[in-house]
Amino acid sequence: IDDAGFRPASRIASIGVSKILQIGARASAMKRDGLPVIILGAGEPDFDTPDNVKAAAKAAIDRGETKYTALDGTPELKKAIAEKFRRENGVDYALDEITVATGAKQILFNAFMASIDPGDEVIIPTPYWTSYSDIVEICGGTAVLVPCDAEAGFRLNAEQLEKAITPKTRWVLLNSPSNPSGAAYGEADYRPLLDVLMQHPHVWLMVDDMYEHIVYDGFKFVTPAALEPRLKPRTLTINGVSKAYAMTGWRIGYAGGPKALIKAMAVIQSQATSCPSSVSQAASVEALNGPQDFLVERQRSFKARRDLVVAALNAIDGIECRVPEGAFYTFAGCGGVIGKTTPKGKRLETDSDFTDYLLEDAHVAVVPGSAFGLSPFFRISYATSEAELKEALQRIATACQQLAG
């Protein structure tokens, strides 16, 4: 029986599966059908989990660390996280101010579930990582999307923040470097925002630092809890091992924040999601404590790819791409191709039409800006080989040349 009248809960009825995952599934199906599709959709580093991390996981299994662990992280992992926050970010978190979950996505869910009442508002600068607004809505809150265009470097400014705050605002969620834009907030960008927050004691700050290790051109990564210690008691600092250590499948995310919030997040974890994988936690201790020098080499490699992609995109008539400060994404404007007609006679009305055209006719999978709340743009994830990137960019250029009108 396929359909016995199932009706999804109203909470999720209007929320679909992540657009990024949908495009990935469609592109993979085309590939299985023998089409030469290049997938630049997923935010997945193309290098392997470091050997020392894999060895730590194997050793944990051999030691029998295959049972439930402490609910929100082993003491060993929390110690490694506390040390990481101190060493790399200059922020002191005690062990009871730290929580671990099954990926940063789960951390975000736990945090919102633990803190949002119906009608509470979360300010999210747009473009934003697709899941942010959906998690807020699932938890009963209201996502307040504030468009931040390319001219503003895709960054929220103090005036916009001030205007968006209402008595119902619970959180502001900032992500630097950003998925999808690669834009990052330096100290000078953060300062005015933190000053605004100092004037609104009912508003809390959630920062997603997932891409902190992937920054370019000497950009100095900073995190707000270090910049403004007076805001630390109402700041949640989120991070994880997925992107920096190529551990997306290991599912470990973590956060530092005020004790009461961390405790409330543990309630969700205890009743609904349980502890993260014991083996992945042991491996993550090694990731955070082990050698970090390979991160520099990774940055160099990602930078070469960023430069290649940005230059190739800006050489295409109708496409405009800002130089991102970090992460491994470009978020290029495609306003110049909207209104044009494909060789098959289809008029491109939206950025989704354009990315559909690229997938169907050029066999390149990218994600439309609409998936991240800002149009007309498209996101390329350049965490793939230079050879594939060159081929994909050539195909995109040819597809754009073939548009009429």
Q: Residue type at 290?
A: G
> Whose Cβ is closer to ligand PLP: residue 240's or residue 256's?
240
With CB under 6 A as the contact rule, the residue among 49, 133, 179, 280 that binds ligand PLP is 179
Please tell me whether residue 18 binds ligand PLP under the rule CB under 6 A. Answer: no
> Whose Cβ is closer to ligand PLP: residue 129's or residue 331's?
129
Residue with the closest Cβ to ligand PLP? 103
Closest contact distance (angstroms) between CB of 298 and ligand PLP is 16
CA dihedral over 367, 371, 372, 378, signed as positive or negative:
positive
With CB under 6 A as the contact rule, the residue among 242, 281, 352, 384 that binds ligand PLP is 242
Angle at 188 between CA 182 and CA 192, to 5 degrees: 105
Angle at 175 between CA 170 and CA 180, to 5 degrees: 125
Contact 115, 261 (CB under 8 A): yes
Site string for ligand PLP, 180-209 (x = CB under 6 A): ----------------------------x-
With CB under 6 A as the contact rule, the residue among 103, 141, 326, 368 that binds ligand PLP is 103
Please tell me whether residue 74 binds ligand PLP under the rule CB under 6 A. Answer: no
Closest contact distance (angstroms) between CB of 156 and ligand PLP is 15
> Whose Cβ is closer to ligand PLP: residue 180's or residue 312's?
180
With CB under 6 A as the contact rule, the residue among 93, 129, 190, 254 that binds ligand PLP is 129
DSSP SS3 for 329: strand
Site string for ligand PLP, 25-54 (x = CB under 6 A): ------------------x-----------
Site string for ligand PLP, 245-284 (x = CB under 6 A): ---x----x-------------------------------
Chain-centroid distance, C-alpha 46:
16
Contact 165, 156 (CB under 8 A): no
Closest contact distance (angstroms) between CB of 170 and ligand PLP is 19
CA–CA gap between residue 58 and residue 71 (Å, rounded) = 22
Choices 103-111, 213-221, 339-347, 393-401; region in contact with ligand PLP by CB under 6 A: 103-111
Q: Are strands 204-208 and 169-175 parallel, antiparallel or unpaired?
A: parallel
Q: What's the per-residue H, E or C state across 164-223?
A: HCCCCEEEEEEECCCCCCCCCCCHHHHHHHHHHHHCCCCCEEEEECCCCCCECCCCCCCC
CA–CA gap between residue 12 and residue 150 (Å, rounded) = 31
Please tell me whether residue 105 binds ligand PLP under the rule CB under 6 A. Answer: yes
Nearest residue to 254 (alpha-carbon basis) of 90, 95, 372: 95
Q: Are strands 253-256 and 98-101 parallel, antiparallel or unpaired?
A: antiparallel
Q: Are strands 142-147 and 121-126 parallel, antiparallel or unpaired?
A: parallel
Count of residues near ligand PLP by CB under 6 A: 13
CA–CA gap between residue 94 and residue 202 (Å, rounded) = 24
Please tell me whether residue 330 binds ligand PLP under the rule CB under 6 A. Answer: no
CA–CA gap between residue 89 and residue 83 (Å, rounded) = 10
With CB under 6 A as the contact rule, the residue among 133, 175, 278, 342 that binds ligand PLP is 175
> Whose Cβ is closer to ligand PLP: residue 248's or residue 314's?
248
Closest contact distance (angstroms) between CB of 331 and ligand PLP is 13
With CB under 6 A as the contact rule, the residue among 39, 56, 91, 104 that binds ligand PLP is 104
Return residues touching ligand PLP (CB under 6 A).
43, 103-105, 129, 175, 179, 208, 210, 240, 242, 248, 253
